[in-house]
């Protein structure tokens, strides 16, 4: 299998410690974020470090593997192509397309002659029922769209204001490096990916009949990027547009979109009480390019887009991210990772004293010693009363803030 790809070493480094361990490695994420190529990179790593390694690759998107319909079919096929005295590395792409795949994986793992790696494009593939079958036998890695630094590498670009704007406009799906970064070319491709995600991972999987309602819901989310939302608020708005649907149905549809890794739900975090609110969340898009297929990129939405791109960068960096609530004030993000806590405000530009007081003033009211940041499009890196002010580009180049 001759594959050429860019090395996404950050993900490879996370998975390497689990090679040759009796645990199933499952890579999840939205379609077309590069999960298949992560498998290829792992195969290459194994070929280099394991002499005479025997590798089996099954891609359920290829018709030649269409006969593997169930977990039983999977085990039967593997038995026909392997020797019981040999050890194999088994890679399965889009494993959720195999009915009861968890039973087949569990059986193969029990034979102690397979090191197993899988990808899946739907979080529901690891529902409570499936997790019960594989309890203690799997570890999950989420693969994301390209980070800003990866975007620059994939497209052979230098960091610049133009490159950063293109990143916010076109998003980070890896295949874009094959295309010229022009609106009519990129968005034609992105629309096809959007339709595939909706059809395969939402509509078909959940037997949705009211497709027009789902599309209107997506448009609402795109227009209300980063706003505090409830199912009732969404329902009331859609009713004003002569579209009736109950809050329960809306909650179900939002969950379906989350399971397809199309959107991410961000809960609110009470900074004083150190507790998480269960109601009224924000939603961000996993890939901004796909969001911009619904609502064309426009500078009037720049504040919303900035929040989304900062949120995605924090997620890729491994932070657990919440919207902060400080009494009646809102802090854009509270980012947690191990013993690290970041409080972050995001603004377009700090244009005057009023904006300065709002963005920095909210952070000054947080009475602890954790790092506090304002991120904006201003080309500055300064410090005001202990609050760090970073340009968006400098933050995206180093979201872990290892300074």
- 84: exposed, middle or buried (C-beta count within 10 Å: 0-12, 13-18, 19+)? exposed
Quick check: is 403 in a domain? no
Mean pLDDT for all residues in the chain: 93
pLDDT at residue 126 in the model = 58
Task: Identify whether residues 266 and 157 lie together within a single domain.
Answer: yes
Of 142, 162, 186, at which residue does a domain stop? 142
CATH number of residue 120's parent domain: 3.40.50.300
Q: Find the helix or strand (DSSP H, E) in which 72 lies.
A: helix 71-81
Residue 382 carries which DSSP code?
Answer: E
In the block, residue with structure tokens 């280099």: 48
Please enumerate in sequence order all residues whose Cβ is within 8 A of that of 305, keeping only pairs 6 or more positions apart, or say none.
168, 225, 288, 297
Task: Identify whether residues 114 and 19 lie together within a single domain.
Answer: yes
Quick check: is 402 in a domain? no
Using CA atoms, how far residue 146 sits from 171, 173, 228, in Å, is: 8, 6, 26
Please state the rounded mean pLDDT for residues 374-384: 92
Higher pLDDT: 365 or 124? It is: 365
Task: Identify whether residues 157 and 24 lie together within a single domain.
Answer: no
- From its phi and psi, is residue 207 left (phi > 0), alpha (psi between -120 and 50) or beta? left
Q: What is the pLDDT of residues 278-311, one digit of tens each?
A: 778 999 999 999 999 999 999 889 999 999 999 9
Q: What is the pLDDT of residues 334-378, one digit of tens each?
A: 999 998 999 999 999 998 898 999 999 999 999 999 999 999 999
Q: What is the pLDDT of residues 184-234, one digit of tens each?
A: 999 999 999 999 999 999 999 899 999 999 999 999 999 999 999 999 999
Q: What is the edge-to-edge ordering of all strands in the sheet holding 268-270?
A: 275-276, 268-270, 320-326, 329-337, 340-346, 371-376, 387-391, 381-384
Please state the rounded mean pLDDT for residues 96-123: 93
Quick check: is 4 in a domain? no
Q: Which two tokens stand for residue 325?
A: 């609530």
pLDDT at residue 278 in the model = 74
Task: Identify whether residues 58 and 155 lie together within a single domain.
Answer: no
Of 124, 142, 160, at which residue does a domain stop? 142
Quick check: is 2 in a domain? no
Residue 381, pLDDT > 90, answer no
Are the beta carbons of 251 and 197 closer than 8 angstroms? Answer: no
pLDDT at residue 296 in the model = 94
pLDDT at residue 5 in the model = 67
Q: What is the edge-to-edge ordering of all strands in the sheet holding 114-120?
A: 55-59, 88-93, 114-120, 24-28, 138-142
Q: Which letter, b or e, does each residue of 355-386 get, where b requires 16 or more Cβ atoms within 10 Å of its Cβ?
A: eeeebbebbeebeeeeebbbbbbbeeeeeeee
Residue of 65, 62, 57 lying closest to 89 (CA atoms)? 57
**Domain extent for 378:** 148-397
In the block, residue with structure tokens 């940041």: 373
Of 119, 142, 165, at which residue does a domain stop? 142
Quick check: is 206 in a domain? yes
Task: Identify whether residues 167 and 204 lie together within a single domain.
Answer: yes
Quick check: is 282 in a domain? yes
Task: Identify whether residues 260 and 335 lie together within a single domain.
Answer: yes
- From its phi and psi, is residue 8 left (phi > 0), alpha (psi between -120 and 50) or beta? beta
Alpha helices by DSSP H, 244-399: 247-259, 288-294, 302-316, 353-364, 392-397
Residue of 222, 290, 294 lying closest to 260 (CA atoms)? 290
pLDDT at residue 2 in the model = 45
- From its phi and psi, is residue 226 left (phi > 0), alpha (psi between -120 and 50) or beta? left
Task: Identify whether residues 65 and 207 lie together within a single domain.
Answer: no
Quick check: is 368 in a domain? yes
Are the beta carbons of 99 and 75 closer than 8 angstroms? Answer: no
Are the beta carbons of 372 and 366 closer than 8 angstroms? Answer: yes
Q: Which two tokens stand for residue 176?
A: 């874009």
Please enumerate in sequence order all residues whose Cβ is within 8 A of that of 243, keeping only pairs 6 or more positions apart, or say none.
213, 216
Interatomic CA distance for residues 23 and 272, integer angstroms: 40
Task: Identify whether residues 279 and 315 lie together within a single domain.
Answer: yes
Task: Identify whether residues 84 and 220 lie together within a single domain.
Answer: no
The number of folded domains in the chain is 2
Interatomic CA distance for residues 390 and 384, integer angstroms: 11
Quick check: is 351 in a domain? yes
Task: Identify whether residues 63 and 207 lie together within a single domain.
Answer: no
Task: Identify whether residues 93 and 188 lie together within a single domain.
Answer: no
Q: How many CA atoms lie within 13 A of 282 on its CB side?
A: 23
User: In the chain, what are the helix, strand and coil shares in percent, each to the nearest 5?
Assistant: 45, 20, 35
Q: Find the helix or strand (DSSP H, E) in which 138 lies.
A: strand 138-142
Task: Identify whether residues 132 and 152 lie together within a single domain.
Answer: no
Please enumerate in sequence order all residues whose Cβ is within 8 A of that of 272, keeping only pairs 6 or more positions apart, or say none.
326, 327
């Amino acid at each position: 299998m001759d594959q050429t790809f860019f090395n996404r070493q950050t993900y490879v480094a996370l998975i390497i410690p689990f090679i040759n361990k009796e645990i199933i490695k499952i890579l999840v994420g939205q379609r077309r974020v590069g999960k298949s190529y992560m498998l290829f990179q792992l195969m290459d790593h194994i070929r280099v470090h394991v002499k005479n390694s025997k590798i089996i690759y099954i891609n359920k998107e290829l018709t030649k593997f269409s006969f593997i319909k169930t977990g039983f079919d999977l085990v039967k096929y593997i038995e026909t192509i392997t020797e019981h005295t040999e050890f194999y590395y088994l890679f399965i792409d889009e494993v959720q397309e195999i009915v009861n795949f968890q039973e087949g994986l569990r059986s193969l793992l029990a034979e102690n002659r397979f090191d197993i790696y899988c990808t899946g494009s739907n979080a529901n593939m690891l529902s409570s029922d499936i997790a019960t079958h594989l309890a203690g036998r799997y570890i999950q890695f989420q693969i994301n769209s390209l980070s800003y630094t990866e975007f620059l590498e994939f497209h052979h670009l230098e960091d610049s204001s133009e490159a950063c704007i293109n990143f916010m406009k076109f998003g980070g799906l890896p295949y874009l490096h094959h295309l010229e970064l022009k609106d009519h070319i990129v968005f034609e491709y992105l629309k096809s990916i959007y339709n595939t995600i909706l059809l395969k991972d939402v509509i078909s999987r959940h037997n949705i009949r009211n497709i027009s309602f789902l599309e209107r819901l997506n448009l609402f989310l795109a227009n209300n990027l980063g706003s505090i939302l409830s199912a009732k608020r969404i329902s009331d708005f859609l009713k004003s547009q002569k579209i009736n649907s109950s809050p329960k149905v809306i909650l179900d549809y939002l969950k379906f979109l989350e399971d397809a890794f199309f959107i991410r739900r961000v809960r609110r975090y009470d900074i004083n009480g150190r507790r998480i609110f269960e109601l009224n969340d924000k939603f961000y898009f996993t890939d901004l390019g796909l969001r911009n297929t619904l609502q064309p990129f426009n500078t009037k939405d720049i504040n919303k887009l900035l929040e989304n791109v900062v949120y995605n960068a924090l997620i890729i960096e491994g932070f657990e991210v919440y919207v902060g609530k400080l009494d009646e004030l809102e802090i854009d993000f509270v980012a947690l990772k191990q013993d690290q806590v970041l409080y972050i405000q995001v603004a377009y530009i700090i244009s005057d004293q009023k904006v300065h007081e709002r963005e920095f003033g909210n952070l000054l009211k947080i009475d602890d010693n954790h790092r506090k940041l304002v991120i904006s499009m201003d080309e500055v890196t300064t410090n005001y009363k202990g609050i760090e002010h970073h340009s968006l580009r400098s933050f995206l180049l180093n979201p872990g803030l290892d300074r």
